[in-house]
């Protein structure tokens, strides 16, 4: 065993990625696109591996470009109205802020999440020399549920110099090892489905859409730094100004489909299709647009739910320019945890809806 | 609870050979093809063992693996795997408890969620149960291992709903809903899951640093790996040494060790293989592989009476 580099040994008891015998072609394709995206690491401001994965999964005809912020763009079609789709590539995690004399790493969170879910778990420090394995140090006092002391990582070094020798540096991002794993039926678990499902939906839509039928220009954007304040989308919105007619943020619909959640709102069962995220903490979709969207989905035979949930979305960065934000998502259980759960039927449904919008709306 | 501190000594001082203590039998619910184990180094065996699950009292799969690994070994009526080396006096016992605190399915809801009961009471880490919240687990059903997750509230949906300073009690097993993707109890049962199916965190042994190994119960598993490797080294035993991988050390009055003593004793000396650990009883309990190497050498010497 070497001290540097990955070193994560997965002795998992079950195959992580299986194709159930009854999987339809669209479920199988959704999984084949989603799984590599989920297993790429990309904490906010370090989305490079995810961006490269997206590029690899693009159809061969697609010409992509990366802007100064790190957003990846694909443009197709011509003429007005310009319609934009945006899904973010980044995920929650940590960044190294200091290396202590004892070799342990001090961290700051990138994005909002329950920090105790990382405590006492395996860690990966993503460095320029590769991933360095370690552990999130468990607390030894102050035993509460969700309020652990400031997180630290032990990479097995006993001095600052030892940690640095392993490749650790200030600013390096930190996550925990993750894996895409199929559950029963068409369900799956992993970390960072938020928003790799959105990324996958854009890719699947691009693969299948009929470019010849496009009646106007469409831009697909895979954005950066959403989890820390919609920063990448802000750059894209400023670049496009008032040109777009609509923007479709393609992001998680955090669902109350769980025995732990209140059913007051966010009620969208997993497996029942994509969701029009008609009201969240950052935007409200004009009701007429929701109605129009529902008619389109019905005409194309796409399962679509309508609901309201918490969270912000990239599309809200476009609205100050007079662009209507029609946010779309898919239902997710246990958001921002290491054990998020989705249903692949919803991924396929969302991809079909994106395609329908690009072609027909 | 709340007074115990997680041991965080840096790469511990060395293996411990505690005399006459112990504990019972391990059930490894996670069979690994043994032809792989035979060809592997001690380090590889330690990794393999650390990836296994052996909820106390339900160690059948692991003991199956040990029987295949150690020719001549047998399983007694309690479930211990024993192997007698040498002959004559003195008659000594060298044992390694293999079991772990874990869970069994206690109920299945109409919506297909599994509810749990903890098995084994000796864990002293106050956040032991909390370590499964929001993490992947493995259910060992009658049709094989089934992946699942323990439900956790969505971060987004807690915002604005928790008052500042509100009580924040630790997560306990009674809060656990296990989601295997089933939508009904019948779907869960169709996966081979029923009441009493064992369950543990999904095991992902993690090598890190300078030959450190992190995993749940890494100390016990690495110690047992050292014992298995010591047997495979074919020591020239002084007198008789009974090697025992014991079950039920964490439950039922240490029934595994008691059974070995009753069935194969008396012994003039009893030694238990154990290793110092860091982050003890957590999901990243850590052992130094250098200590594992040393423990193996010491056990060979002990069996040879040196």
Q: Whole-angstrom Cα distance, residue B256 to residue B266? A: 15
> Of A175, A206, A231, which one is at a domain's C-terminal end?
A175
A117 contact B CB<8A: yes
Return the exposure string of B241-278: e unless at least 16 CB atoms fall within 10 Å of the residue's CB, then b: bbbbbbbbbbbbebbbbbbbbeebeebeebbbbbbbbb
Set of chain A residues whose Cβ sits within 8 Å of the Cβ of B168 = 144-147
Residues in A touching B163 (Cβ below 8 Å): none
Q: Would residue A347 count as lying in a domain?
A: yes
A–B: how many Cβ contacts below 8 A? 223
Using the Cβ of B127 and the Cβ atoms of chain A, whether some distance falls under 8 Å is answered with yes
Q: Is residue A3 situated within a structural domain?
A: no
A262 and A319: one domain?
A: yes
Task: Residue A140: give its domain's CATH number.
Answer: 2.40.30.40
Same-domain pairing of A74 and A187? yes
Q: Do A81 and A106 reside in the same domain of the chain?
A: no
Strand locations in chain B, DSSP E? 16-19, 74-75, 81-86, 91-97, 102-108, 114-119, 136-141, 144-150, 178-179, 198-201, 206-208, 212-214, 240-246, 269-274, 286-288
Q: Identify whether residues A327 and A249 lie together within a single domain.
A: yes
Query: Is the residue at A6 inside a domain?
Result: no
Q: Does one domain contain both A211 and A162?
A: no
Quick check: is A219 in a domain?
A: yes
Phi, psi dihedrals of residue A118, rounded to the nearest 5°: -95, -20
Residues near A268 by beta carbon (within 8 Å), at least 6 away in sequence: A253, A255, A256, A257, A275, A305, A307, A309, A331
State whether residue B225 sits within 8 Å of chain A by CB: no
pLDDT cut 70: percent of chain A above it: 94
Query: What is the structure's pLDDT at B27?
Result: 33
- A189 and A329 fall within a common domain: yes
Q: CB-CB: which of A8, A13, A188 is closest to B206?
A: A8
Look at A107-111, A139-143, A339-343 and tell me which has the smallest mean pLDDT.
Answer: A139-143
Determine the residue among A4, A11, A117 to mutate to test chain B binding: the one whose Cβ has the most chain B Cβ atoms within 10 Å. Answer: A11
Domain boundary among A175, A195, A218: A175
The answer to whether residue A19 is domain-embedded is no
Three-state DSSP at B177 gives: coil
Same domain for A155 and A140: yes
Residue A279: what pLDDT? 95
A167, A129 Cβ separation under 8 angstroms: yes
Closest to B45 (Cα-Cα) out of B189, B306, B245, B270:
B245
Q: Is residue A248 included in any domain, yes or no?
A: yes
Average confidence score pLDDT of chain A = 93
Question: Does residue A150 share a domain with residue A133?
Answer: yes
Residue A155 lies in a domain: yes
Q: What is the pLDDT of residue A140?
A: 85
Whether the per-residue pLDDT at A20 is higher than 70: the answer is no
Instruction: Give the pLDDT of residue A22.
Output: 64
Average pLDDT, stretch A48-65? 98
Residue ranges, chain B, pLDDT below 70: 1-40, 122-123
Among the partner-chain residues A147, A255, A339, the one whose CB lies closest to the CB of B134 is: A339
Residues 6+ apart with CB under 8 A from A24: none
In a domain, A266, yes or no: yes
Last residue of a domain, one of A148, A175, A202: A175
Does the beta-carbon distance from A255 to B156 stay under 8 Å?
A: no
Read off the tokens for A262.
């209140």
Q: Does B214 contact A at CB distance below 8 Å?
A: yes
CA distance A253 to chain B (A): 10
Q: Does A161 touch chain B (CB under 8 A)?
A: no
Using the beta-carbon criterion (under 8 Å), do A334 and B130 form an inter-chain contact?
A: no
What residues have CB less than 8 Å from B158, skipping those under 6 apart? A114
| Same domain (yes/no): A306, A354 | yes
Residue of B nearest to A8 (CA): B206
- For residue B289, the chain A residue with the least C-alpha distance is A1
Q: Could you give the domains of chain B?
A: 16-100+205-303 (3.40.630.10), 102-201 (2.40.30.40)
Q: Which CATH number characterizes residue A244's domain?
A: 3.40.630.10
Joined together, the tokens standing for residue B282 give 């957590």
List the single residue in A132, A309, A339 with the smallest CB-CB distance to B135. Answer: A339
pLDDT in tens, B178-208: 999 999 999 999 999 999 999 999 999 999 9
Shared-domain flag, residues A203 and A239: yes
A272 part of contact set with chain B, CB < 8 Å: no
Asked whether the beta carbons of residue B127 and residue A341 sit closer than 8 angstroms, the reply is no
CB contact under 8 A, B127 and A254: no
B177/A185 Cβ within 8 A: no
pLDDT at residue A17, as a whole number: 54
Q: Specify whether A289 is located in the same domain as A351.
A: yes
The 10s digit of each residue's pLDDT in B222-278 is: 999 999 999 999 999 999 999 999 999 998 788 999 999 999 999 999 999 999 999
Which residue range(s) make up the domain with A246? 25-91+179-360
B26 Cα distance to chain centroid: 7
The whole-number pLDDT of residue B24 equals 30
Please report the pLDDT score of residue A248 as a whole number: 98
In whole angstroms, how far apart are CA B208 and each of A4, A82, A117? 8, 50, 20
Cβ of B203 under 8 Å from any chain A Cβ?
Answer: yes
Count of beta carbons in the 10 Å neighbourhood of residue B166: 7
Of B243, B232, B301, residue with least CA distance to B41: B232
Residue B186 forms contact with A (CB below 8 Å):
no
Choose, out of A100, A119, A138, A174, the residue to mutate when testing the contact with B (most B CBs < 10 Å).
A138
Radius of gyration of chain A (CA): 21
Cis previous bond, A81, omega within 30:
yes
Q: Give dist(CA A212, CA B36) in Å, integer.
A: 56
Closest residue of chain B to A267, computed from CA coordinates? B157
**Among the partner residues B134, B204, B211, nearest to A11 by beta-carbon distance:** B204
CB contact under 8 A, B134 and A338: yes
Residues A273-329 pLDDT 10s = 999 999 999 999 999 999 999 999 999 999 999 999 999 999 999 999 999 999 999
Q: Please answer yes or no on whether A13 and B151 come within 8 Å at the CB atom.
A: no
B181–A341 C-beta distance less than 8 A: yes
The secondary structure element, H or E, covering residue A64 is strand A64-66
Q: What is the ipTM of this complex?
A: 0.92
User: What is the C-alpha separation between A261 and A267, in angstroms, rounded?
Assistant: 10
Residues A333, B205: C-beta atoms closer than 8 Å: no
Q: Is the same domain home to A216 and A285?
A: yes
**Mutation site for B-interface testing, chosen from A153, A161, A184, A254 by largest number of B Cβ within 10 Å:** A184
Out of B53, B204, B209, closest to residue A156 by CB: B209
User: Which residue does chain A place closest to B140, by CA atoms?
Assistant: A13
Cβ separation A333–B157 shorter than 8 A: no
Total structural domains within chain A: 2
H or E stretch covering A351: helix A344-360
- Check residue B85 and give its pLDDT: 98
């Amino acid at each position: 065993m070497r001290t540097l580099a990955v070193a994560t040994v997965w002795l998992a008891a079950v195959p992580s990625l299986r194709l159930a015998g009854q999987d339809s072609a669209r479920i199988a394709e959704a999984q084949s696109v989603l799984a590599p995206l989920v297993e790429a690491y990309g904490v906010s401001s370090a989305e490079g591996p995810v961006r490269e994965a997206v590029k690899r999964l693009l159809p061969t005809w697609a010409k992509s470009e990366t802007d100064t912020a790190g957003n990846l763009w694909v443009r197709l079609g011509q003429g007005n109205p310009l319609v934009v789709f945006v899904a973010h590539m980044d995920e929650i995690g940590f960044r190294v802020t200091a290396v202590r004399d004892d070799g342990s790493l001090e961290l700051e969170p990138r994005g909002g999440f329950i920090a105790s879910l990382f405590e006492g778990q395996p860690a990966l420090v993503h460095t320029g020399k590769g991933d360095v394995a370690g552990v999130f140090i468990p607390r030894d006092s102050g035993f509460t549920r969700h309020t652990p002391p400031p997180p630290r990582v032990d990479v097995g070094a006993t001095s600052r110099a030892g940690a640095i020798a392993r490749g650790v540096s200030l600013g390096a991002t930190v996550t925990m090892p993750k894996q895409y794993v199929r559950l029963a039926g068409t369900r799956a678990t992993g970390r960072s489905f938020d928003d790799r499902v959105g990324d996958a939906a854009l890719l699947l839509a691009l693969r299948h859409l009929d470019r010849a039928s496009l009646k106007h220009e469409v831009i697909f954007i895979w954005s950066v730094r959403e989890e820390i304040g919609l920063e990448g989308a802000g750059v894209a919105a400023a670049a496009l100004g008032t040109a777009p007619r609509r923007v479709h943020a393609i992001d998680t619909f955090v669902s109350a489909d769980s025995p732990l959640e209140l059913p007051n709102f966010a009620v969208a069962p997993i497996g029942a299709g994509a969701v029009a995220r008609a009201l969240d903490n950052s935007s409200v979709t004009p009701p007429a647009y929701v109605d129009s969207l529902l008619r389109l989905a019905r005409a194309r035979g796409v399962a679509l739910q309508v609901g309201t949930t918490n969270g912000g979305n990239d599309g809200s960065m476009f609205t100050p320019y007079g662009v209507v934000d029609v946010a779309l998502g898919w239902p997710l259980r246990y958001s921002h945890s290491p054990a998020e759960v989705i249903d692949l039927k919803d991924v396929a449904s969302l991809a079909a809806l994106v395609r329908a919008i690009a072609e027909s709306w | 609870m709340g007074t115990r501190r997680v041991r965080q000594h840096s790469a511990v001082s060395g293996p411990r050979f505690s005399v006459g203590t112990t504990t019972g039998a391990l059930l490894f619910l996670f069979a690994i093809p043994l032809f792989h184990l035979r060809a592997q180094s001690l380090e590889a065996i330690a990794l393999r063992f650390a990836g296994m699950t052996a909820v106390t009292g339900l160690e059948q799969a692991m003991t199956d693996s040990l029987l295949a690994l150690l020719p001549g070994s047998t399983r007694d009526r309690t479930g211990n795997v024993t192997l007698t080396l040498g002959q004559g006096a003195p008659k000594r016992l060298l044992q390694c408890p293999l079991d772990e605190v874990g869970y069994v399915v206690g109920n299945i809801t109409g919506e297909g969620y599994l509810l749990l009961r903890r098995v084994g009471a000796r864990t002293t880490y106050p956040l032991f149960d909390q370590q499964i919240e929001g993490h992947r687990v493995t259910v060992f059903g009658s049709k094989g291992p089934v992946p699942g997750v323990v439900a956790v509230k969505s971060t987004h949906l807690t915002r604005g709903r928790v008052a500042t300073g509100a009580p924040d009690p630790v997560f306990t097993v009674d809060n656990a809903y296990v989601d295997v993707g089933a939508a009904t109890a019948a779907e869960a049962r169709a996966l081979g899951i029923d009441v009493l199916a064992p369950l543990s965190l999904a095991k992902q042994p993690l090598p890190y640093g300078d030959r450190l190994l992190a995993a749940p119960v890494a100390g016990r598993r690495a110690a047992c790996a050292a014992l298995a490797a010591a047997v495979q080294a074919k020591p020239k035993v002084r007198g008789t040494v009974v090697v025992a991988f014991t079950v039920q050390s964490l439950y039922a009055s240490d029934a595994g060790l008691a059974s070995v003593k009753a069935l194969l004793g008396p012994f003039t000396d009893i030694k238990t293989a154990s290793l110092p650990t860091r982050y003890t009883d957590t999901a990243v309990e850590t052992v130094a592989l250098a200590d594992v190497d040393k423990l193996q050498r010491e056990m060979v010497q002990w069996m040879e009476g040196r």
